[in-house]
Structure 1
Amino acid sequence: MTIILLMFIYAVLQPIRSYENLARKSSTMLTQSTTYYINNATLANDGDLRTVGEYCAKTALRHDIAWLQVDFGSPYNIYSVKIVYRREGDGSNDWKQYRFRQFYLDVSDLPATQTTTAERTRCYTDNTTAPNLPPNIINIPCIQTARYVIVETTYDAPEDNPQTGAMLEICEIEVYGCNPNCFNRVCDTSGHCNQGCVAGYWGDCSLECSDNCFKNVCNITGSCTEGCATGFYGNFCNKICSSCPEGCHRDTGECEGACPVGKSGTLCEKSCSVNCDRECDKNTGICQSCVAGKFGELCNKNCSTGCVSFCDRYNGRCSCKQGWQGETCECYAQQLSDPTTNQKTVLHGVVAILCISLVLNIVSFTWMFRNGICRSQNKKGSPLVTSHLLPHLCMIQWRTTLLTKN
């Protein structure tokens, strides 16, 4: 009567929820302390609720202790445990749940073989004494988080004659609960977490958020909702920032702040010119200053050999060494004083033309005098021609004579 009252209060006070039968999960394993004939532990989670002995898991005779253990493989949130015990009928000669008296139900994170009852968490103890019988189907509240559920007894039923020792005859055990990562410990009969996962888990709430999620927080898809830890980016924070000393943008991976010395680009993936003096602009790669002897935006141009030392960072202008000239000291003074090959060629041509002209004039004058083309006249009434005008007048006369003959 006490047990029935307890079950009723438990059902009324607890909110209506549905849970998964963890004992039927593919990863769950059942074992027992010993086995009677072929009644092995797997008969206790095969879904067959018949309570005839051949359908139940049984431990062997003549042992001081008997136990059956449910191993989930990892800790789960347990809500209740239902046990279906052997009972073959209501007749006076039918076998009943005599051996079920004074059993106890424990949970633990270690198996039965490695723990004593004092090292486990007790969920229930049956105090039934002969000739009374406990119910052969019992639903026990057990709100705990554990990996193992252990049903155990040391009771030797007086109905066994002669005595057979402690025995268990469990036809079915159902352990209802949820993945421990279900928010508010709520899930449906298939184990789906209705209200989502606790912080740090996603998917079916068995998958951990990436360690790179800020504060280890992600949503049901695994996307990091609070951003990424320093050095990572992407929805799942699974991409590494490329040499970004101050971190990178959560979505694009572009480096925030300056790049390391000698690097440029939005991802700091490019190297500055080897001729940059340490740093270059993050976005353009333009050197902030050049090493000695170089100029230009990328410091890829050589200062003139005529520069005393450095040249202007942008245009290459410099102070010239002795003998050098020009804005960038590119011209040596000796080169300017000596005519070039082209200049010499032109000069030689001019001299040759002048020489030829002189020879032609001499030949012309000689021919004119010999042929009497030009003789001075001193007739009366004719003006006397001065000697310095004579050549010019002779030339005019010679040309006139040529035209008349023609």
Structure 2
Amino acid sequence: MLKKFKKMKITIPHIHKIEGEAGFWAKVTKEGKIEELKLKTLEGLRQIEGILIGRRFFEVPMVVSRVCGICPVVHILNACSALEKALNVKVSKQTILLRRLMLANQIIQSHTLHLFFMSLADFFNIENDLDLIKKFPKESKAALQIRDFSLKILKTVGGRAIHPITPIVGGFSKLPDKKEISEILKDYDKTLESSFILANLFKNLDYPAFKRKIIFTSLASKNEYPFYETNLILVNGKKISIGDFYSTKIEEDLRTPPIKKVKYKGKPYILGAIARMSNNFKFLNPQAKKVFKGFTENKKEIFKNIFYNLFFQVIEVLHFLEESQKIIKEILEIGLKKETSPEVRIQPASGLSAMEAPRGTLFTYFELDKKGRVFNCNIVTPSAQFLNNLEEDLRVFLPQILKLSQKEKIRKIRSLIRIYDPCISCATH
């Protein structure tokens, strides 16, 4: 016999503590069936891709970085990489190391912001951030110290902590000072200790019971935890070329402005920390792997519960801190040398690049004319890719909380949405 519920509508005009503006709307029948459900985007289309049409290739990366203020690094680096592929420009090992260092710390600072200042309060029903800081003073300092460390690296290498200015097609317009990089390394041990403080906090949270089978996608590699520019993507254990996945396997729905909602073979899928961890946890750095094993050893089907995405972000903070130390040591060992800009042969061409943004795999594609101007481009952001999956999770989650008060239902819905760490600015670019 079907349980009887009061026919209801659930409306959340504004979901705070996410990047950008969004709301939620659902309609539920007396039988508890979800009749309609939608995450509503409240931002207008900015048409960044349209702005790029007719621009010369060297102007493009700086414009693309403006897609987002939280993750501008991956946007500028992926744009550079896509254009380099189109123009057959080979970059040096030094350039790759510096870019990897930037991208690793982009993920660290974004995760730390989301973990502590956007999602943590949901587990304690705290609305005021000042109350959160009072409850967790030591952990607050740890979160800020981690972000300071990563932002200092981004400023040192990129010229600015937000919207970097030094990455260009072929390399960097200005190299960081070796002494400054060496000074940053002095704060590594303290920052690693701060990350353990956060790990201990998030390890002991009371994560909601939730289960749903998901398709995971992330970059693939044979020998590392992949995040910077590979040619393969992993879909539930199956390797597919980036080009094949982008051109034939994912479908963009242009009927849902201002977002191009994306599916894989007609099905929703998930990206980001939980997907990367599911596909590549064996490649984690030692400290991160130790924490991962300690957290998961007594848990079953951990990758079917989207709420664990939060702790997987903590593990990635640890992993990328360790990765940053390795990269900095290698940079200091080989030294930084001023390089001449590689020769660029202008010709009609196209280029596609994929990198891991904090929220998942970012695809950037350009077509250039004979003068090196953009005449076609496409940026497929992580949030645009996982919004379908978020709505499917909400369809499963909502019936589980229908007996709660309206206020409590809204609190729970907001909590699940924030677990995804959606970036509406990226999705509506």
TM range (shorter): under 0.3
Structure showing greater radius of gyration is 1
Q: Scaled by the length of structure 1, what TM-score is found?
A: 0.18
Determine which structure has the larger strand proportion and give its number. 1
